[in-house]
Chain A
Amino acid sequence: MPQEELSGYVGLAHELLSKVGARIGDRIRLELKRAGRQEVVEGLLMPRYRTETEENYVVVKLKTGYNVGVRIDSSSKITLLGKGQQPQFTRPPPPSQKPGLPKVSIVSTGGTIASKVDYRTGAVKPALDAEDLYSVVPELADLADIEANVLFSLFSENIGPQLWPKIAEFVADQARKGADGVVIAHGTDTLGYTAAALSFALTDLPIPVVLVGSQRSSDRPSSDAASNLLAATAVAGQAPFAEVVVAMHDWISDEKVAVHRGTKVRKCHTSRRDAFRSVNQKPIAHYDLIHHTLNLNTTHYRERRKGATLTVKSQFDPNVALIKFYPGISVGIVDWATATGFKGIVLEGTGLGHVGEALFSSLERAVNDGVVVGMCSQCIWGRVHMNVYSTGRDLLRIGVLPLGDMLSETALVKMMWAFGQEKNPENVKKIMTTNLANELSDRREVEAHIE
């Protein structure tokens, strides 16, 4: 993190800077010998973001505000001219709270849904509590009475089955304490997995739980963080449904936020604002950012029942593998998973749910060892159908379980959850083929495809 004392500096630069006691933000002078001439550079010491390429650079901010990297060697001299001043973030007065607004609990798991920039060092500081959030996104005060919490601060690739129970328990707590809805800010990379996990862990949810993230970091003026957060807060406070959903931009325009079901959503683009798509069904709702209205796309949902009792089934067993079939796949992969003690395997097969016949004997051994093997499609859209071609029929005979139109990521999470609840593979198979949280649907409408 850039706020650290000599963030990013190693080697000679670190040595010279620490010798004079320089800290990030301090005013320093660098005296350099260049081709026999003496050169002098003065400015504020800035953090270094990348150290892998070159160690012998010191970054300074010139008085014009520009940063430049200055090359140093053992003959360079660094002088500390003055200590840096800590930036003062003064909160504007909080907006007046309107009476009668729903209570929404906003919890952060990482990334920054809202942040402030220290233009002095470039450091980005997250807005951590409700007051901070109101000051950065004042419109929140029109939508809800907010309570803000930080659960953890992690990149989402570090959030998995070990932390899903904590999030689920937190949500349950908030619901029991009378929240009308919960918003969970989450890094986008594994946001879909966490959404699926909560969908299974909180099957009798009485209030909406909305996961939200941003594809453009919140320190930039064009960030989608604030608009996604506003939509998520509105959905948490107002939606008639009590389901786990994901609220992210519907398209690249700041006009509409799509509300996706937690079991049916997938990140389908590395960088676009509309990276998240509902797969095999339309988003459950859209939030109109211009007119501030929530428009439902379906009448089929579990209804909000504030105050109803909530049981949390938050155990997950991580011993489930997701294996993507590809031409030339080594049979050793399946054998290894079986030998290692994985309890379940979700296969991402080709097309309607196929793998090459070279894998058959390995799969047979796995099934015979009691490993639950499920089949999803790497096509992403559509359902598996294993009765159409002989390969599919052979796989069924082996004991591979077709998982309908479930997303492979959702199937993985569901199987981890199923093994968290059940030891018996036969019961796990039953759970896998029973629709619990809209993860399996019996019909797919024509509009439910990539636009």
Chain B
Amino acid sequence: MNDTETTKPKLTVGLEIHRQLDTDHKLFCGCPTEFAESEPESSFLRRLRPTQSELGQIDQAAMFEFHRGRSILYESDHKTSCLVEMDEEPPAKLNHEAVEACLTAALLMGAKPVDEIHVMRKVVIDGSNTTGFQRTAVIALDGALKVDAKTIPITQISLEEDAARKASQSQTAAGYRIDRLGVPLIEVTTGPVLESPGEVEKVAYAIGSVLRATRKVKRGLGSIRQDLNVSIPEGALIEIKGVQELEILGKAVELEVNRQQTLLAIRKELSSRNLKPNQIERKYVNLSKLFLNSEARVIKAAMARGGVALGVKLPKFKSLLGRELGPGLRFGTELSNRASFWAGVGGIFHSDELPAYGISETEVTAVNDQLGLAVEDAFVIVADDNAKAKDALDAVVDRANEALVGVPEETRTAMPDGTTRYMRPRPGAARMYPETDVPETPTPEEYIATLRAHLPETPDKLAKRLMDQFSLNQKLAKQVVDSDYLSLFEQVVAKGTVPPTFAATFLTETCKSLERERVAVHIVPDAKIEAMFQLMAKGAFAKEAMPDLLKWQVSNPNLDPSEGIQNLGLQMLSETELERVIDRHIEKNKKLVETKGQAAFPSIMGSIMSEVRGRTDPKLVTETLKKRLASAA
């Protein structure tokens, strides 16, 4: 170990990559793995009841949700879900295609398949599963991946069912759409050995390449979700759920390190201000009278509904509530997120952000007086019905007390920008028990041997083959391997009509930049993209028009690309048509041609090209125009 490693605070990160498998049907039923395009056709209400278990094993948050009387509204349609997703029929056998995809990925990572696969029920009662548990099974253990000469342990490869999608949410019911429920997900877990944001991203890429090599993974936004377990010395193990894009993994880690460091700085500041744990009290003051004539919309609305404005003093917290923990995230935000989780209140107001939101300077002073605030103290106000407001302030006081500890262990949810928000307390020991409705699936030695003998190429070998076979340069070959379009690329170039370098560039760089412009390229079926390439190879349109045609295809995913060519006017000009255009331009510039002869070429060429670009080969225009000018002279 060298010096820098021992002196620098050591960051450790573990990664869990979940990726949807592109199987013919879902994990435990015959439904397709495609998502609903239509509006939901029916809905049903459910309540999930925490199952009684050993002492201390009841999920506090789950129990809380249940006693709050929340129901869950599930929305469905007949194409994407059946009785199994509705928990109205026992699951069918484990989908063999999905098992095989996982085993393939596992063998590619040198992991050991388990002898017999046992499906488990992992209790999750937030509503994302109609059953109240997620079905999950270990497929293989103890693999490894080499990334930049470092061996990364792959501790577990498992197969699980995807959860329902969050839909609407109301005061009384959380809403979920069940089309996604039951889609097979492969989960790859690394050991907690990653030490930098850059390394996290590299490992995620490497795992992604292996998964794609199985040719069984779905692509596009939402098909991949990453969870991170981040810890720093003196901080806490924070579980970050649902990072959707690989590119922000590193940023999410960086931001989490920064958040934990800032929380540690706040702890230091609080102890230097001499704050003692028992000083933050659950003592709430009814402040409603102070806001009778207030301009504050939220408070007025709450009081009009019969609610109250309650306040609590947070001693020694002045200026710390406004302390930034990350972009758009202040310590006050953490208090507010806790309040909304435990009490379902819309939000809180804290003294560091006031006067604002219609709360005046005078009102702030009055609150200070009423709560008996000293110079270093801060306050939090919440307006809602009395019981909810109290619950909210309980959550605020608890979180404020945790500031003395530093970083509370919790599960956080990732935002698209890489920042995180409080999601729920970290679950205790996994509440898992066997899914007895699904028979065990043995993986006989001969079967594993056959799979091992027919493994797909590893990403490295694949890149090498693409370079040899299609004369792609190394960068492009790697891009294809790392992209979601590997199989499509191979299909497109199989006939030998489409230039491989063009296909590779288009499918990686062009598609990526279109996705960045929010063009949902991933929704276009492979067959349509392939047809576009073949039409282009046949000369039906110019390759420069491919991006435009693809954009059209995104808006018309079910139409034939030849219709797009018609629609966008991309048809190639026939030679006669081209000659006619050239003649027209010569005629228009008759004087120029007469005076300048061949020297008129650049200006006429320019005006012709602006008319026919994308519909003809520029070389042909040059040749024909030169000939015409020669004969005109």
Q: Is B121 an interface residue (CB 8 A)?
A: yes
Compute how far the CA of A89 lies from the CA of B116 in the bound complex, rounded to whole angstroms.
31
A71 touching B116, Cβ below 8 Å: yes
A50 surroundings in chain B (CB, below 8 A): 439-440
Known contacts A88-B54, A89-B54; decide if A119 and B49 are in contact (CB<8 Å): no
Compute how far the CA of A90 lies from the CA of B125 in the bound complex, rounded to whole angstroms.
21
Q: Is B349 an interface residue (CB 8 A)?
A: no
In A117-145, which residues have CB < 8 Å from any B CB? 117-120, 122, 127, 135-136
B138 touching A272, Cβ below 8 Å: no
In B108-135, which residues have CB < 8 Å from any A CB? 112, 114-118, 120-123, 125, 130-133
In A23-78, which residues have CB < 8 Å from any B CB? 39, 46, 49-50, 53-54, 57, 59, 62, 64-71
Q: Is A338 an interface residue (CB 8 A)?
A: no
A69 touching B440, Cβ below 8 Å: yes
In the complex, the chain B residue whose C-beta lies closest to that of A124 is B433
A11 to chain B, nearest CB (A): 15
B51 touching A222, Cβ below 8 Å: no
Q: Is B71 an interface residue (CB 8 A)?
A: yes
Q: Is B431 an interface residue (CB 8 A)?
A: yes
B433 surroundings in chain A (CB, below 8 A): 117-119, 122, 219
Most B CB contacts (10 A, CB to CB) among A65, A70, A226, A272 go to A65
Contact of A119 among B115, B125, B156, B431 (CB under 8 A): B431
Q: Is B87 an interface residue (CB 8 A)?
A: yes
Known contacts A69-B115, A119-B54, A220-B133; decide if A53 and B442 are in contact (CB<8 Å): yes
Known contacts A64-B430, A68-B114, A89-B55; decide if A272 and B89 are in contact (CB<8 Å): yes
B552 to chain A, nearest CB (A): 42
Most B CB contacts (10 A, CB to CB) among A49, A226, A270 go to A49
B46 touching A253, Cβ below 8 Å: yes
Q: Is A273 an interface residue (CB 8 A)?
A: yes
A124 to chain B, nearest CB (A): 8
A253 touching B440, Cβ below 8 Å: no
* Contact digits for B45-64, partner A, Cβ 8 Å, 1 yes 0 no: 11111111111010000000
A272 touching B88, Cβ below 8 Å: yes
Known contacts A46-B434, A252-B88; decide if A69 and B55 are in contact (CB<8 Å): no
Known contacts A226-B49, A255-B45; decide if A65 and B116 are in contact (CB<8 Å): no
Q: Is B86 an interface residue (CB 8 A)?
A: yes
Compute how far the CA of A223 lies from the CA of B132 in the bound complex, rounded to whole angstroms.
9
Known contacts A88-B54, A119-B54, A221-B131; decide if A227 and B88 are in contact (CB<8 Å): no
A220 surroundings in chain B (CB, below 8 A): 51, 121, 131-133
In B387-443, which residues have CB < 8 Å from any A CB? 429-434, 436, 439-440, 442
Compute how far the CA of A64 lies from the CA of B430 in the bound complex, rounded to whole angstroms.
7
Contact of A70 among B115, B125, B133, B434 (CB under 8 A): B115
A136 touching B48, Cβ below 8 Å: no
B83 surroundings in chain A (CB, below 8 A): 271-272
Compute how far the CA of A117 lies from the CA of B141 in the bound complex, rounded to whole angstroms.
27
Compute how far the CA of A272 lies from the CA of B82 in the bound complex, rounded to whole angstroms.
12
A317 to chain B, nearest CB (A): 37
**Contacts across chains A and B counted by CB atoms under 8 Å:** 144
Compute how far the CA of A136 lies from the CA of B440 in the bound complex, rounded to whole angstroms.
30
Q: Is A95 an interface residue (CB 8 A)?
A: no
Contact of A68 among B50, B53, B118, B432 (CB under 8 A): B118
Known contacts A216-B87, A220-B133, A254-B47; decide if A66 and B118 are in contact (CB<8 Å): yes
Compute how far the CA of A87 lies from the CA of B49 in the bound complex, rounded to whole angstroms.
21
Contact of A90 among B45, B55, B89, B112 (CB under 8 A): B55
* Contact digits for B146-172, partner A, Cβ 8 Å, 1 yes 0 no: 000000000010100000000000000
Q: Is B220 an interface residue (CB 8 A)?
A: no
B120 touching A88, Cβ below 8 Å: no
A444 surroundings in chain B (CB, below 8 A): none
In B472-507, which residues have CB < 8 Å from any A CB? none
Q: Is A324 an interface residue (CB 8 A)?
A: no
In the complex, the chain B residue whose C-beta lies closest to that of A46 is B434
Contact of B432 among A116, A119, A227, A271 (CB under 8 A): A119
Known contacts A49-B434, A66-B137, A119-B431; decide if A222 and B54 are in contact (CB<8 Å): no
A222 touching B131, Cβ below 8 Å: yes
A69 touching B114, Cβ below 8 Å: yes
Compute how far the CA of A62 lies from the CA of B138 in the bound complex, rounded to whole angstroms.
10
In the complex, the chain B residue whose C-beta lies closest to that of A47 is B434
B447 surroundings in chain A (CB, below 8 A): none
Contact of A67 among B131, B434, B439 (CB under 8 A): B434
Compute how far the CA of A216 lies from the CA of B86 in the bound complex, rounded to whole angstroms.
12
Contact of B132 among A221, A251, A252 (CB under 8 A): A221
A57 touching B116, Cβ below 8 Å: yes
B45 touching A253, Cβ below 8 Å: yes
Most B CB contacts (10 A, CB to CB) among A59, A67, A118, A226 go to A67
Compute how far the CA of A270 lies from the CA of B90 in the bound complex, rounded to whole angstroms.
10
B52 to chain A, nearest CB (A): 4
Compute how far the CA of A57 lies from the CA of B115 in the bound complex, rounded to whole angstroms.
8
A119 touching B53, Cβ below 8 Å: yes
A136 surroundings in chain B (CB, below 8 A): 52
A221 surroundings in chain B (CB, below 8 A): 48-51, 123, 125, 131-133
In B94-120, which residues have CB < 8 Å from any A CB? 112, 114-118, 120
Compute how far the CA of A350 lies from the CA of B326 in the bound complex, rounded to whole angstroms.
74
Most A CB contacts (10 A, CB to CB) among B83, B120, B156, B433 go to B433
B86 surroundings in chain A (CB, below 8 A): 252
Compute how far the CA of A135 lies from the CA of B52 in the bound complex, rounded to whole angstroms.
8
In the complex, the chain A residue whose C-beta lies closest to that of B442 is A54
Contact of A88 among B55, B89, B116, B440 (CB under 8 A): B55
Known contacts A220-B132, A221-B133, A252-B44; decide if A66 and B120 are in contact (CB<8 Å): yes
A254 touching B71, Cβ below 8 Å: yes
Contact of B88 among A49, A117, A118, A273 (CB under 8 A): A273
B476 to chain A, nearest CB (A): 40
Compute how far the CA of A197 lies from the CA of B285 in the bound complex, rounded to whole angstroms.
63
Known contacts A222-B46, A252-B44, A252-B88; decide if A118 and B54 are in contact (CB<8 Å): yes
Compute how far the CA of A69 lies from the CA of B54 in the bound complex, rounded to whole angstroms.
25
In the complex, the chain A residue whose C-beta lies closest to that of B434 is A122
In the complex, the chain B residue whose C-beta lies closest to that of A269 is B88
Compute how far the CA of A251 lies from the CA of B45 in the bound complex, rounded to whole angstroms.
10
Contact of B53 among A118, A223, A226, A251 (CB under 8 A): A118
A116 surroundings in chain B (CB, below 8 A): 51-53
Contact of A69 among B50, B88, B442 (CB under 8 A): B442
B44 surroundings in chain A (CB, below 8 A): 251-254
Compute how far the CA of A127 lies from the CA of B112 in the bound complex, rounded to whole angstroms.
41
A62 surroundings in chain B (CB, below 8 A): 138, 141
B115 surroundings in chain A (CB, below 8 A): 57, 68-71
A254 touching B46, Cβ below 8 Å: yes
Known contacts A66-B138, A70-B115; decide if A222 and B430 are in contact (CB<8 Å): no
Known contacts A65-B432, A251-B44, A272-B83; decide if A223 and B55 are in contact (CB<8 Å): no
A23 to chain B, nearest CB (A): 18
* Contact digits for B527-563, partner A, Cβ 8 Å, 1 yes 0 no: 0000000000000000000000000000000000000
Compute how far the CA of A117 lies from the CA of B53 in the bound complex, rounded to whole angstroms.
5
In the complex, the chain A residue whose C-beta lies closest to that of B76 is A252
Most B CB contacts (10 A, CB to CB) among A88, A253, A273 go to A253
A69 surroundings in chain B (CB, below 8 A): 114-118, 440, 442
Compute how far the CA of A371 lies from the CA of B61 in the bound complex, rounded to whole angstroms.
64
B54 surroundings in chain A (CB, below 8 A): 87-90, 118-120
In the complex, the chain B residue whose C-beta lies closest to that of A61 is B432
Q: Could you list 12 examples of A-B contacts with CB < 8 Å?
A: A49-B436, A50-B440, A54-B442, A68-B117, A69-B115, A69-B117, A87-B54, A89-B54, A118-B53, A136-B52, A220-B121, A252-B86
15 new A-B contacts at CB < 8 Å, known A54-B116, A70-B115, A253-B45: A57-B442, A66-B137, A67-B120, A89-B53, A89-B55, A90-B54, A115-B52, A117-B52, A118-B53, A220-B51, A221-B50, A221-B125, A222-B132, A254-B45, A254-B71
Q: What 3 A-B pairs have minimum CB-CB distances, sorted nearest first?
A: A221-B132, A69-B116, A65-B430
